[in-house]
Amino acid sequence: MSKLVVAVAGATGAVGREMLKTLEDRNFPADEVIALASSRSAGTTVPFKGGELTVREMTEDSFKGVNLALFSAGGSTSKKFAPYAVKSGCVVVDNSSAWRMDPKCPLVVPEVNPDDVDWHNGIIANPNCSTIQMVVALKPLHDAFTIKRVVVSTYQAVSGTGQKAITELETQVRQMFNGIDPEVKVYPHQIAFNCLPQIDVFSEGDYTFEEIKMIKETAKIMGDESIKVTATTVRVPVFYGHSESVNLEFEKPVTAKAARAILAQAPGVQVYDNPAEKMYPMPIMAAGEDEVFVGRIRQDDTVESGLNMWIVADNIRKGAALNAVQIAELLMKKGKLKV
pLDDT tens track, the chain, 339 positions: 479 999 999 999 999 999 999 999 999 999 999 999 999 999 999 999 999 999 999 999 999 999 999 999 989 999 999 999 999 999 999 999 999 999 999 999 999 999 999 999 999 999 999 999 999 999 999 999 999 999 999 999 999 999 999 999 999 999 999 999 999 999 999 999 999 999 999 999 999 999 999 999 999 999 999 999 999 999 999 999 999 999 999 999 999 999 999 999 999 999 999 999 999 999 999 999 999 999 999 999 999 999 999 999 999 999 999 999 999 999 999 998 876
What is the longest distance spanned by two Cα atoms in the chain?
64
pLDDT score of 1? 46
Alpha-carbon torsion 49, 52, 57, 61, what sign? Answer: negative
CA–CA separation, 322 and 257 (whole Å): 30
pLDDT score of 339? 62
Provide the CA 128 distance to its chain's centre, in angstroms: 5
Q: What is the DSSP letter of 82?
A: H
Asked if residues 52 and 45 have their Cβ atoms less than 8 Å apart, the reply is yes
- Residues contacting 296, CB < 8 A, separation 6+: 273, 275, 280, 308, 309, 310
pLDDT score of 289? 96
Q: Is 105 helix (H, G, I), strand (E, B) or coil?
A: coil
Catalytic residues: 129, 242
- State pTM to two decimals: 0.95
CA–CA separation, 90 and 5 (whole Å): 10
- Residues contacting 79, CB < 8 A, separation 6+: 98
Q: How far is CA 31 from CA 1, 12, 23, 234, 304, in A?
A: 11, 21, 12, 41, 55
